Structure 1
Amino acid sequence: MTNLTKFKRWENSISRMHFPKWKELPSLGLYVDQVAAVINENLASLGMEPLTKSMINNYVKKKTIQAPIKKKYAVNQIVDLLLIGFFKNTFAIDDIRRGILQITSKDYPKQAYDRFVEILNARLKNEKVPDNPNFDPANEQLMNFGIDAVLASLKARYLLKMMAKESQVGKDNHENKE
């Protein structure tokens, strides 16, 4: 099987991935272990690095996300962590935070996050993004660019990893013949 065939198979598998909308996320307060599990379940399906409890605690200490109330995280904090986890390998944390603040300055966090999910899920499936005339066009463009950058980076890394693995296999086979 060629690298391109393997890549297309992987790309097809991520097209079945579904990032959760706001109402699909747990609405009861969760402890940090539970938050990490929810976040990582969604990130893993895209082959992204997990967020650890230490990372989450550091985001709280650095005020990247709001502190939990009585050690319990609400849905808005889960959303922030999902976004951080999605974007962190492509953008600096400060840029991610600024992007979240920019987008939520004109649109409510729930609407902004749900629009992000609509765009991401459509991009993963290679479908047309449904129109939303109620959403700020500049915010929408910012999300489109960010999502496209992350997905392009993910795809490039995956393909490079496969190519490197195959060239190592070829190298090992060549060395075995000598």
Structure 2
Amino acid sequence: MTMQTTDPTELRLPLWAELPQFSLHLDQLLDITNMVLTPITDDQVTKTMMHNYFKAEIIMAPVKKRYTQGHLAGAIVVGLLKNVFALTELKQAMGWLLADAPAQEAYDNFVKLFNEQAAQQGQLATQEPVSVDLTTASPATVMQYEAVQAVLHWLAAKRVLKAYEK
């Protein structure tokens, strides 16, 4: 397996409006999810994983095997966070976030924080976000920021390990 996360400034997640606005089959959802995540995590989300996320109610189950932007957004976020959080923690966090804001708003907020922090990763890993004032942000937004930091630190550690292997 090749590590593709060499330049942290190239890490970028798509906003909700950039996700397909039509129903998807599971294979299509997985293809898009993995197209987004594999360059970042060097990992893939599988059908079995998705079925486990539905069964554990981390991501809502599809209606008539048709998947929406919400399912795709959930797959991207969970696929990224599964590397640093337990599934029970993901379920709790997703429930809390979706109780605090609509899915589109919660997803876009996470993506904006991730993209902004990933772009700054080479400058200063603990730099405060520009788009959000953490002193006045909701607890859900602070949790998203901390989750983004956890993922970015995990990715940085993977880069160091990969460099050490050479």
Flag whether TM exceeds 0.5 (same fold): yes
Give unpaired runs (5+ residues) of structure 2: 121-126
State how far apart, in whole Å, the 1-side matches of 2:133 and 2:72 are.
24
State how far apart, in whole Å, the 2-side matches of 1:72 and 1:152 are.
35
Deviates more, 1:41-50 or 1:80-89: 41-50
1:20 aligns with 2:14: yes
Over alpha carbons, which structure has the higher Rg? 1
Question: Helix, strand or coil for the counterpart of 2:66?
Answer: coil
User: Could you tell me how far 1:76 is from its partner in structure 2?
Assistant: 0.9
Aligned-CA RMSD value: 2.1
Question: Helix, strand or coil for the counterpart of 2:41?
Answer: coil
Question: Helix, strand or coil for the counterpart of 1:149?
Answer: helix
State how far apart, in whole Å, the 2-side matches of 1:132 and 1:29 are.
36
Q: Percent identity?
A: 27
Q: Which has the higher helix share?
A: 1
Deviates more, 1:74-83 or 1:54-63: 54-63
Alignment of 1:142-153 (within 5 A): 142-153=143-154
User: Could you tell me how far 1:158 is from its partner in structure 2?
Assistant: 2.0
User: Could you tell me how far 1:44 is from its partner in structure 2?
Assistant: 1.3
Match of 2:132 in 1: 131
1:31 aligns with 2:32: no
State the aligned residue count.
Answer: 154
State how far apart, in whole Å, the 1-side matches of 2:118 and 2:107 are.
16
Runs (4+) off by over 4 Å:
none
User: Could you tell me how far 1:131 is from its partner in structure 2?
Assistant: 3.2
User: Could you tell me how far 1:157 is from its partner in structure 2?
Assistant: 1.8
1:59 aligns with 2:49: no
Structure 1 residue identity aligned to 2:88: D
TM-score normalised by structure 1 residue count: 0.79
Alignment partner of 1:68 out of 59, 62, 71: 62
Give a deviation string over 1:100-150, Cα, whole Å, max 9, x none.
1112212121111111111000001108431379x9521111111111011
Question: Helix, strand or coil for the counterpart of 1:63?
Answer: coil
Give unpaired runs (5+ residues) of structure 1: 1-8, 167-178
State how far apart, in whole Å, the 2-side matches of 1:132 and 1:26 are.
31
